[in-house]
A = this chain, B = another copy of it.
Amino acid sequence: MTARTALPRRTDNDQVLRNLGLVGVLAALVVIGIVTRPELYSDPAWVRNNILTILQQASAIGVVTVGMTFVIIGGGIDLSVGAIIALAGVWSTTLATQAYGAAGMIFTALVVGLAVGLVNGVLIAYGKLVSFIATLAMLVSARGLAAQISGKQTQVSTNDTINSIASSRLIGIPVLVWILAAVVVAGWVLLNRTTFGRRTVAVGGNPEAARLAGIDVKRHTMLLFVLSGLCCGIAAIMLTSQATSAQAAMANLYELDAIAAAIIGGTLLSGGRGTIVGALFGVLVFSTITNLFAINNLATEVQNMVKGGIIVAAVLLQQFRYRSLTNLLRRRNDPDIS
């Protein structure tokens, strides 16, 4: 029995290895970029700029993915993220709201995000609806409401403060990237260093055990959807700033992208396990793929065909690395047992 103490903390390793796998995938994508467009990659300024562009393109969906990761770890799913963004974006760019200036617009987007998340949360936690159905219903409704509010028009943001968020930099790094970084760090701390985060894992991993441990599972579930709604509110501002406008169809299919990024990053769709860093890597993989296609100017249909293949390859590669390295590590660390 005493020999067991020597065992490493296996899963932390698992996570690091999974993430390493994703870093490998990212590296592979970059190598493909270098090989196919050497002339671009030979210019350091271009490379630097390209990295920032990739990060910037990943920022809004990255923020959404952080919220989604919490929801999935907590045992749910949120199909309404894209719709929440649209509703928050549209609401905060109505003429009436724009009259209150940037602060009013930001406030509106966040409150709309929180409110819709709250409705989701209440329906799911207390109305006992399956989250898939409740958020699907919300997807449909919120986009409908957004269309109603905007009169199906693209609403242009005339607020320079808002519009300049997307074009400003801080210490050479785009503000949007800073926002993403802040959300990721906050998400990591929340998941790994707070009671809220630990309880999220418990609620998703074994709700019965969580209940027996005295956790208010319903309340916690509700809060997870509120959190996701809040992230959507933030993302709505980011996207509005990027597009200097908002419309009912914006952030289309973000739900799929966010879920896919979270899962590729190692979050278990059935809940109880997941990592914020992995989710970030998942987002970066997707955004790097898009970049790679753009610099190679692939036709969209070819892009799509290839993209599916890359996703599969990425996950396989990651699994492969993960398994073989895990085995290696196990052997090395467990010689005392056999």
Contacts and interface: CB of A to CB of B under 8 A. Distances in A.
Interface of A: 79, 123, 127-130, 132-134, 136-145, 147-148, 152, 248, 256, 259-260, 263-264, 269-270, 300-309, 311-312, 315-316, 319
Given A147-B301, A316-B127, A141 B307 contact: yes
Nearest to A148: B301
A21 B333 CA distance: 57
Contacts of A142: 308
Q: Copy number in this complex?
A: 2
B148 A305 contact: yes
A144 B139 CA distance: 26
Given A128-B319, A140-B304, A303-B144, A263 B133 contact: yes
Given A147-B300, A147-B304, A311 B140 contact: yes
Contacts of A145: 301, 304-305
Contacts of A140: 304-305, 307-308, 311
24 contacts: A123-B312, A127-B316, A128-B319, A129-B312, A130-B263, A130-B269, A132-B259, A132-B269, A133-B260, A133-B315, A136-B256, A136-B260, A137-B311, A137-B312, A139-B308, A140-B307, A140-B311, A141-B309, A144-B302, A144-B303, A144-B306, A144-B307, A145-B305, A270-B270
Nearest to A259: B132
A308 B138 contact: yes
A306 B303 CA distance: 37
B269 A141 contact: no
A311 B132 CA distance: 11
A319 B269 CA distance: 25
Nearest to A140: B308
A270 to B, nearest CB: 6
Contacts of A130: 263, 269, 315
A152 B301 CA distance: 9
Contacts of A304: 140-141, 143-145, 147
Contacts of A138: 308
